[in-house]
Amino acid sequence: MKKEKSSRQQVYTLVVQIGRKDGDGLPDGATGAALICYASGIDEAEAVRETVAILKQADTAPLDVTGYGTLAEREAEGHEIGGDERELMHRALEENAVIVAQMTPFFDDGTKEA
């Protein structure tokens, strides 16, 4: 029986702002969007690099990434983290993946589409 290797991977919560690019799939009239992502990595820098690379492959134009830390770091800061969010984080860790959990488009008039 093979013993599973313990992983040093952790999941980081990232908010990525993207601009417009042909084929990006954003709604007509949107000037960009904010994406909430859960990304696995050895450290936050790796999670950011992987997320930006995946988003570029998906024909988006990442402009800025803000990191909010790991689950434990967020809990220590008093963030309320629901079951759905925890499930997505677990999935990102299990699949060594980047999960885009939410997309909020931005429009010229400063509004966000819910």
**Banded pLDDT at 2 (limits 50, 70, 90):** very low
**Total domains in the fold of the chain:** 1
Decide if 114 is inside a domain: no
Residue 1 lies in a domain: no
Residue 67 lies in a domain: yes
Residue 77 banded pLDDT, cuts 50, 70, 90 = very high
In a domain, 54, yes or no: yes
* 113 domain residue, yes or no: no
DSSP labels, 51-67: HHHHHHHTT-EEEEEEE
| pLDDT one-digit tens code per residue, 5-35 | 446 899 999 999 999 999 899 999 999 999 9
Q: Which domain holds residue 89?
A: 10-107
Prediction pTM value: 0.86
- 59-69 burial: b if 16+ Cβ within 10 Å, else e: ebebeebebeb
Does residue 5 belong to any structural domain of this protein?
A: no
Q: Is residue 112 part of a domain?
A: no
- The answer to whether residue 4 is domain-embedded is no
